[in-house]
Every structure is written in C-alpha cells, then in structure tokens.
C-alpha cells in the first residue's frame, strides 16, 4: 500500500507539473522568448513519458490490492462453506450464498481497490491543485472554487440516488423473473385454462414498473454528468472572466490563467470520485457484513481438539440415538449393532427417519455424543476426515459434478492411489462394473471421458444413482452406508448391483437403507423404522413369521413384482398381436 501511495504522489506531481510548464511556455511565447519555449516543450515531453510510467504503476499497485483481498476472501469463504452443515444450508439458499460469493465480494473488492485508490488520490489531488492555484492567485482560487461545494454535494446525492434506484430496478427485474418462472412452471395450467392473456397482462404490469424504475435510474445516471460538468464549467467561466480582468489589470499573466484553468479542470474527477466513494463505502460495508456473516457462522459439527483417528475394524454400534429437528423428534432412542463385516438393512416408509439415521452415522448431521460408536469409539471423538474415510455414504439423490464420468469417479479414489495410473483406471472399471453402470458408460459418446450434467450428457435418475454408487465403492470405506441408493433403478438391475456390492462389501460393514424387501432380505439383520422408532428387528425369516409391518410390506411387494411381470407379458403379447 505504501508503495502504491508513493506512486500516486509521483503521479500527482507529474500531472501538476505539466500545466505549470505550459504556463511558462505560454508566457515565454507571449514574451517572444522562443528558445525557452522549445526548452519547456522538451521538458513537458519528458515529464509526459515519466508520468505515463508512474501512473501505470500506481493503478496497477492499488487495483492489485483489491484483487488480492478478493482472492483471499473467496478462499476463506469456500473453506468456511466446507465446514458448515445442513442446518446452515437450510437457512440460506444456493442463490443467497452465490450472491454473497459474487456481488458482495465484488463490492468489497471495489471498496478496497477502487475506494482506496480514489480516497488517497482525491486527497492528494485536492491538496496539490488547490495549493498551486493559491500560489497563482488566492483571490481567484476562492472565486473559482465557489461551485465546488455544490459539485461535491450533487455528486454525493447522485451517488446515493443511483444506489437506491438501482436497487429498485434490480428488484423489478427479480419480479419479472418470478413472473416468467411461474408462467413456465405452470405452463400446462396456463394453456388449458387459456390464461395466456391474463398472464401477459400481469407480466406487463411488472414490466411497466420495471421501465419506470429503469428510466428513473438512467435519468439520474444521465443527468449526473451534464449537471456536474455544467457546474464545473461555471468555475471555468469565473476563471475566464475574473481571471481575464486580472490579466487586463496586469496582476496575472496569460500563462498563469491557463495553468490555473487546467488545475481547476483536474479537480473535477477527484470530486466526482469522492461522491462515488461514499456510495461505494455504504455498499461495500453492507456487502462485507453479508460476507462476514457467513464467515462468522459456527459449524455445528466440529472436531474434538484431541480427536483420534478412526479404527479399521468397522464394528458399528448405535445406542439410544435420538435426534430432533426444530423440536420435532425425528429419531427416538434408536439402538442397534452391526458387527464388523456384518450387514444391516433399515426399512421404513417415507418420513420414518431412515435417511436421517444414515447421515448421522457418518456425522454429516450433528450426531449427539455418546450415541454412535465405531469400533467402540464415540464417533464425535474421531477426526472428521478419518471418520468419513471409514464410513462411506451414498445418498438417495445423488449429486454429480459437471465434468467427465472419469473425474467424478476419481473424486473418490483413496489419496494413496495416484490418478491416471493403470491401477487407478482398473479400480474405476471394477467399481463401475459392480454398480452395473459400466456398459452404459462404454456406450456413451466418449466413454469415461464423457461430460455429464447440464452441458454434457443428461443422465437418467437410475444412471446417476449407479454412478454415485460406483463412486462410493471406490473410496473403499470400512463401513458402507447406502441411503436408498437404488430407488430409481428397476428391480432386476438392483438385484445385479446388490450381488456386486455383496462381493465388494466382503470384509466390509454394510448398512443399507431401502424400501425394497428384495434388497433388505439379503442383509444379516433388518430393522424396521416407524416414526423414528425401531418397530421390528430380526432376520428376514423372523420378521416374515412375525406377520407385522415388514411381512405386510413383503406381501405387497411380491404382488407388485408379479404384476410387473404379468404386465410386461400382456404388453408384449399385444405388440405381437398388432405386428
């Protein structure tokens, strides 16, 4: 910063020296001292070149500071976001977070870079220009500066009005977006109810409002310069008239007058900048507060100061685990045990708390202390990184990154496997095979190199789930927690995948959350969750014999499967008949 200010001082000095030399030149020209004029001109040229260099340097130096601050803030923000859990993401939408990471950070950067540069520069410019003007003529200085308080005042008012009006215009644009969003989302209802005209009218009302706000905004934006430049021209007018009279009276040279006028002109931009500065400070401060708000959040899931690494057996024990969200109990004293290399299925209807249970096992939600134990160790006393390496988790609604299939899978490769090696590639293929997705990957336009997501190949829900499953298998965790990872996969493929997982899970502990009996029955033990409580537990046969909820569900699903088979047969029969 100090160096930047140094450059600014030099910039101002050279900027002020040129009119001064010009003054000498004009006076010499008038006096007929032509040799001295040429001399002055050479000096001006030399100074002009020097000033180009220092001016460049000062801008670079000071704007870079803003960019550096932005860089650091961005990194800090993501690091913080990584540590925050679902309770935070429920309070802020992705859009909110993004607007803080983009618009707000930009405002903060402007505050530090542009704001800093202009504050220092304006102070320097005022001091030097007014100082030199006083040297030329104190009386004329007083007169010429008369419009400047007004310029400053107007600049401030304009900046403030612009800020307010641009907020209004932005809000109007957001309302327009809402209208379009509603119209497109409800397009079927709009069309069948012939609401097109009515929708267009409602849109037009907001559209008109938007025009009003925008015209108000751009009028201010457009009015600003004519007004401020008009005011500054009044200063020039004063200089020409009063200064001219002084020249006529002999108390001022023409050169003095020209230099004086130049200094006055050089005041215009710093004055405007000060007006801008006020609004940048207001905005920047509000933005900084929004960014700082995120940075100041305390993560609910925090590492114990003397946390230990997780063991490598994989025995899971849950004791009286209760969990509530907003005062509503989601899990109520759930207890079960899975020995190392054993398997457990969790069955239950929607809203029974099974997904919450799955997330708590990997401490992806704030797991209470003393409830979940891994190899006899309370998981809240383990380092997060080792715990999550030990407990692999595949969620029901999988998220894939918008990059290639290969990179999505490599994401989960253990850190000791180097990417791009034959071993790494072999592992990817094995995992993709176990998740029964390899054939589809091979059928994609660029196989493992195919980009998935919005700008790539669109995957079906089932394909996404299977890719996510392959990813979970790659991490090679001791405990594999699968949260209904195959809800969008048909029953036949599911059976294939489950066999694959069983092979892969050999020597691994498996917790499978599912709504399918066909999948659950493969587990050593099954628990049935209902409204957050363990309602039944036992092996598949035990539960069937009991004739409870599980048995009912099993009967129903058997019927469904038969039906599906039959329906397929009927449809095929019809197809043959019509062919």
Partner 1 sequence: MSAARVTLDRDAARRAGLDAVRAANVRPPMESGGEERVYDVALLRRLGPFARPSLVLFVVAGLMVPLIALSGLVQPLLLRAAVDAMVIEQSAAALSRVALLFGAAIVVEFIARFAQTYTLQLGGQRTVAAMRRATFEKVQRLPLAYLDRTPVGRVVTRVTNDTDAIGELFASGAVLGVADLMTVFVIFGFMLYLDVPLTLVTLAVLPVLLFVVQWVRVRARRVFRLVRAHIAQLNAYTAEQVQGMAVVQAFARERECLAEYREINAAYRDANRLSIRYDALLYSSVEGIAAVTVALVLWYGSIRAGWVEPGASAAYVGTVVAFYEYVQRLFTPIRDLSTKYTVLQSSLAAAERVLVLLDHPEEDAPRDRAASAPPPSVTGDAVLELRAVTFGYREGQRALEDVSLTLRRGERLAIVGPTGSGKTTITALAMRLYDVERGSVAIDGVDVRSLDRDALRERFAFVPQDVFLFAGTVGENVAAFAKTRDDERVRACLERVAVWDRVRERGGLEARVEERGANFSVGERQLIAFARALYLDREILVLDEATANVDSLTEARLERAVATLLEGRTAIVIAHRLSTIRNADRIVVLSKGRIVEEGTHDALLERGGLYARLHALQFAGEGSLASPAVPAGSEP
Chosen residue from 131, 149, 230, 547 binding partner 1 by CB under 8 A? 230
State the SS3 of 506-536: CCCEEEEEECCHHHHCCCCEEEEEECCEEEE
Tell which one of 168, 411, 440, 450 touches partner 1 (CB under 8 A): 411
Among residues 107, 137, 287, 408, the one that binds partner 1 under rule CB under 8 A: 408
The only residue of 187, 286, 300, 369 in contact with partner 1, by rule CB under 8 A? 187
Per CB under 8 A, 300 contacts partner 1: no
The region of 151-159, 281-289, 452-460, 524-532 touching partner 1 under the rule CB under 8 A is 452-460
What tokens appear for 342 in the block?
């054993």
Of 450, 459, 336, 310, the closest CA to residue 399 belongs to 459
Exactly one of 171, 240, 286, 309 binds partner 1 (CB under 8 A); that residue is 240
- Which positions from 188 to 217 touch partner 1 by CB under 8 A, shown as an x/- string? xxxxxxxxx-xxx-xxx--xx-xx--xx-x
CB of 350 to partner 1, least distance (A): 7
State the nearest-atom distance from the C-beta of 503 to partner 1, in Å. Answer: 22
Distance CA 336, CA 319 (A): 7
Decide: 77 and 291 in contact? Cβ < 8 Å: yes
Closest to partner 1 by CB, 307 vs 524, is 307
Should residue 122 be labelled a site residue for partner 1 when binding is judged by CB under 8 A? no
Residue 2, classed as helix, strand or coil, is helix
Nearer to partner 1, 322 or 450 (CB): 450
Name which of 184 and 296 has its Cβ closer to partner 1: 184
Q: Is 549 in the site for partner 1 (CB under 8 A)?
A: no
3-class SS at 443? helix
Least Å from the CB of residue 333 to partner 1: 25
Secondary structure element (H or E) that encloses residue 282, with its range: helix 254-295
The reply to whether 328 sits near partner 1 by the rule CB under 8 A is no
User: Which of 135, 143, 182, 339 is close enough to bind partner 1 by CB under 8 A?
Assistant: 182
On the 0-12 / 13-18 / 19+ scale of CB atoms within 10 A, 156 is middle
Q: How near is the Cβ of 303 to partner 1 at its closest, in Å?
A: 12
| Binding letters toward partner 1, positions 340-359, x by CB under 8 A | ----------x---------
Distance CA(256)–CA(539), nearest Å, equals: 102
The beta-strand segments (E) located in 451-565 are 479-483, 509-514, 525-530, 533-538
CA distance 437 to 382: 34
| 3-state class (DSSP) for residue 312 | coil
Closer residue to partner 1 in complex, CB, 25/532: 25
Residue 392 makes contact with partner 1 by CB under 8 A: yes
Q: State phi, psi for 513 to the nearest 5 degrees.
A: -90, 125
Ranges within 499-538 binding partner 1 (CB under 8 A): none
Q: φ and ψ at 523, to 5 degrees? A: -75, 155
Near partner 1 in 479-498, by CB under 8 A:
488-491
Closest contact distance (angstroms) between CB of 407 and partner 1 is: 5
Q: Indicate which single residue of 131, 149, 222, 547 sits in contact with partner 1 (rule: CB under 8 A).
A: 222
As a whole number of angstroms, the distance between CA 273 and CA 277 comes to 6
Please tell me whether residue 461 binds partner 1 under the rule CB under 8 A.
yes
CA 213/CA 220 separation, integer angstroms: 11
* CA dist., res. 476 & res. 479, Å (int): 9
Is residue 305 a contact residue for partner 1 (CB under 8 A)? no
Nearer to partner 1, 102 or 499 (CB): 102
For partner 1 (CB under 8 A), the number of binding residues is 172
Task: Give yes or no for a contact between 468 and 405, defined as CB atoms under 8 angstroms apart.
Answer: no
Touching partner 1, residues 249-278 (CB under 8 A) = 254, 257-258, 262, 265
Cβ-contact 401, 407 below 8 angstroms? yes
Which candidate, 477, 405, 472, places its Cα nearest to that of 435?
Answer: 472
146 forms part of the interface with partner 1 (CB under 8 A)? no
Binding mask 417-446 for partner 1 (x = CB under 8 A): --x---------------------------
If the CB atoms of residues 64 and 542 are measured against partner 1, the closer one turns out to be 64
Binding window for partner 1 (CB under 8 A); candidates: 138-146, 243-251, 313-321, 374-382: 243-251
54-60: list long-range contacts, CB under 8 Å, 24+ apart. 54/7, 54/10, 54/11, 54/14, 55/11, 55/14, 55/15, 57/7, 58/4, 58/7, 58/8, 58/10, 58/11, 58/117, 59/117
In angstroms, what is the minimal distance from the CB of 403 to partner 1? 5
Q: Which residues within the stretch 21-80 sit at the binding site for partner 1 (CB under 8 A)?
A: 22, 25-26, 28-30, 32, 34, 37-38, 40-42, 44-45, 47-49, 51-53, 55-56, 59-61, 63-65, 67-68, 70-72, 74-75, 78-79
The dihedral through the CA atoms of 53, 55, 60, 65 has a sign that is positive
């Amino acid at each position: 910063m100090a160096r930047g200010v140094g450059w600014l001082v030099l910039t101002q000095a050279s900027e002020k020296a040129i009119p001064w030399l010009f003054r000498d030149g004009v006076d010499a020209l008038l006096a007929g001292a032509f040799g001295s004029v040429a001399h002055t001109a050479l000096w001006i040229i030399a100074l002009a070149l020097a000033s180009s260099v220092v001016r460049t340097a000062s801008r670079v130096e000071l704007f870079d500071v803003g960019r550096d601050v932005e860089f650091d803030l961005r990194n800090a923000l993501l690091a913080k976001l990584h540590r925050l859990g679902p309770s935070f993401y429920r309070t802020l939408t992705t859009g909110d977070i993004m607007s803080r990471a983009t618009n707000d950070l930009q405002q903060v950067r402007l505050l530090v870079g542009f704001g800093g540069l202009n504050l220092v520069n304006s102070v320097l410019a005022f001091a030097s220009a007014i100082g030199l003007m006083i040297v030329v003529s104190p009386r004329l200085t007083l007169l010429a500066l008369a419009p400047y308080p007004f310029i400053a005042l107007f600049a401030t008012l304009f900046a403030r009005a612009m800020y307010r009006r641009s907020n209004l215009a932005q809000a109007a644009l957001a309302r327009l977006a809402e209208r379009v969003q509603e119209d497109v989302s409800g397009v079927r209802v709009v069309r069948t109810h012939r609401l097109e005209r009515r929708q267009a009218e409602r849109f037009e009302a907001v559209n008109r409002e938007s025009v009003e706000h925008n015209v108000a905004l751009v009028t201010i934006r457009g009015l600003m310069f004519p007004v401020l430049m008009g005011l500054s021209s009044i200063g020039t007018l004063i200089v020409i008239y009063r200064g001219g009279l002084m020249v006529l009276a002999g108390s001022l040279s023409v050169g003095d007058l020209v230099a004086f006028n130049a200094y006055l002109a050089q005041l215009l931009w710093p004055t405007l900048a000060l007006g801008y500065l006020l609004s940048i400070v207001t905005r920047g401060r509000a933005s900084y507060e929004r960014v700082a708000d995120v940075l100041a959040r305390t993560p609910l899931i925090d590492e114990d100061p003397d946390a230990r690494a997780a063991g490598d057996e994989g025995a899971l024990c849950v004791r009286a685990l209760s969990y509530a969200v907003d005062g509503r109990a989601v899990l109520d004293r759930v207890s079960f045990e899975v020995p190392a290399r054993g398997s457990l299925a969790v069955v239950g209807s929607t809203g029974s708390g099974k997904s919450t249970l799955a997330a708590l096992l990997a401490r992806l939600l704030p797991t209470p202390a003393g409830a979940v134990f891994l190899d006899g160790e309370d998981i809240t006393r383990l380092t997060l990184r080792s715990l999550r390496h030990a407990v692999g988790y595949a969620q029901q609604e999988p998220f894939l990154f918008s990059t290639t299939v290969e990179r999505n899978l490599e994401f989960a490769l253990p850190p000791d496997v180097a990417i791009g090696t034959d071993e790494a590639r072999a592992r990817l293929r094995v995992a993709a095979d176990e998740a029964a997705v390899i054939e589809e990957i091979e059928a994609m336009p660029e196989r493992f190199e195919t980009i998935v997501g919005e700008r790539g190949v669109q995957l079906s829900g089932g394909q996404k789930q299977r890719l996510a499953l392959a990813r979970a298998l790659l991490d090679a965790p001791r405990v594999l927690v699968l949260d209904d990872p195959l809800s969008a996969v048909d029953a036949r493929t599911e059976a294939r995948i489950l066999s694959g997982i069983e092979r892969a899970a050999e020597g691994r502990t498996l917790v499978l959350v599912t709504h399918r009996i066909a999948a659950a029955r493969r587990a050593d033990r099954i628990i049935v969750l209902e409204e957050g409580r363990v309602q039944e537990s036992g092996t598949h046969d035990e539960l069937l014999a009991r004739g409870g909820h599980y048995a009912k569900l099993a009967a129903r699903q058997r019927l469904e499967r038969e039906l599906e088979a039959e329906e397929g047969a009927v449809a095929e029969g019809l197809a043959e008949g019509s062919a």
